[in-house]
Amino acid sequence: MRRRAGGLTTTLGTQRQIRVLFLGVLVLSGAAIAYGATVETRTGPGEVVRSAPAAQNHTVITQSGRVGNVLAYAPNGSLVYANDSHTKYYDVDPVANESMTVEYVATDTLYQKSPRCQDPPCARNVIERLNLSTGETTEVYAQYVYRETAGEWHDADRIDDRHVVVADIAADQVFMVDTATEMIEWTWDAQSTFPVDGGGSYPGNWVHLNDVEVLEDGRVMASLRNQDQVVFIDPETGIAEDRTLGGDGNHTILDEQHNPDYIPASRGGPAVVVADSENDRVQEFQREDGRWNRTWVWSDDRMQWPRDADRLPSGNTLVTDTDGERVLEVNRSGDVVWQVELPHPYDAERLETGDESTGGRSAVALGLKSQVADGNTENGRSDGNRRFGPILDVVREYLPSRLEYVLVHGSPTWLTTSDLGPVIVALCTGVVWGIVELRWFLRSRGIRFRWPVKRRKK
- Domain ranges in the chain are 1-33, 59-366
Residue 305 region by backbone torsions, left for phi larger than 0, else alpha for psi between -120 and 50, else beta: left
Asked if residue 314 lies in contact with residue 307, where contact means CB atoms within 8 angstroms, the answer is no
Residue 76 confidence (pLDDT):
97
Q: Measuring CA to CA, which residue among 69, 121, 132, 148 is closest to residue 99?
A: 132
Mean pLDDT on 394-409: 51
Q: How confident is the model at residue 129 (pLDDT cuts 50, 70, 90)?
A: very high
Asked if residue 424 lies in contact with residue 391, where contact means CB atoms within 8 angstroms, the answer is yes
pLDDT of 217 > 80? The answer is yes
Residue 339 confidence (pLDDT):
97
Q: Which of residues 405 and 93 earns the better pLDDT score?
A: 93
Q: How confident is the model at residue 222 (pLDDT cuts 50, 70, 90)?
A: very high
Q: Which of residues 81 and 112 earns the better pLDDT score?
A: 81
Q: In whole angstroms, give the CA distance from residue 319 to residue 326.
A: 9
Q: In whole angstroms, give the CA distance from residue 347 to residue 20.
A: 46
Residue 401 confidence (pLDDT):
47
The tens digit of pLDDT for each residue in 33-73 reads: 666 555 433 444 446 798 999 999 999 999 987 679 999 99
pTM exceeds 0.85, yes or no: no
Residue 234 confidence (pLDDT):
96
**Least confident range of 94-98, 117-121, 187-191:** 117-121
**Least confident range of 159-168, 308-317, 433-442:** 433-442
pLDDT of 365 > 70? The answer is yes
Residue 170 confidence (pLDDT):
92
**Least confident range of 113-127, 234-248, 285-299:** 113-127
Q: Which of residues 14 and 198 earns the better pLDDT score?
A: 198
Mean pLDDT on 185-189: 97
Asked if residue 235 lies in contact with residue 188, where contact means CB atoms within 8 angstroms, the answer is yes
Residues 120-131, buried b or exposed e (16+ Cβ, 10 A)? ebbbbbbbbbbb
Q: Which of residues 109 and 276 earns the better pLDDT score?
A: 276
Q: Which fold has domain 59-366?
A: Neuraminidase (2.120.10)
Residue 341 confidence (pLDDT):
94
Q: How confident is the model at residue 31 (pLDDT cuts 50, 70, 90)?
A: confident
**Least confident range of 2-6, 241-245, 346-350:** 2-6
Q: How confident is the model at residue 408 (pLDDT cuts 50, 70, 90)?
A: low
pLDDT of 256 > 50? The answer is yes
Query: With the C-alpha atoms ordered 89, 166, 320, 33, is the resulting torsion angle positive or negative?
Result: positive
Asked if residue 252 lies in contact with residue 375, where contact means CB atoms within 8 angstroms, the answer is no
pLDDT of 268 > 80? The answer is yes
Percent of the chain predicted with pLDDT > 90: 63
pLDDT of 114 > 90? The answer is no
pLDDT of 160 > 60? The answer is yes
Residue 382 confidence (pLDDT):
36
Asked if residue 176 lies in contact with residue 186, where contact means CB atoms within 8 angstroms, the answer is yes
Q: In whole angstroms, give the CA distance from residue 343 to residue 416.
A: 8
Residue 2 confidence (pLDDT):
52
Averaged pLDDT of the chain: 85
What's the start-to-end Cα distance of the chain, in Å? 35
Mean pLDDT on 415-442: 77
Residue 309 confidence (pLDDT):
98
Residue 148 confidence (pLDDT):
79
Percent of the chain predicted with pLDDT > 70: 80
Q: Which amino acid is at 138?
A: T
CA 172-176-179 angle, to 5 degrees, is 125
Q: In whole angstroms, give the CA distance from residue 280 to residue 323.
A: 10
The tens digit of pLDDT for each residue in 296-316 reads: 999 999 999 999 999 999 999
Residue 20 confidence (pLDDT):
85
Residue 311 confidence (pLDDT):
98
DSSP letter, residue 194: S
Residue 444 confidence (pLDDT):
79
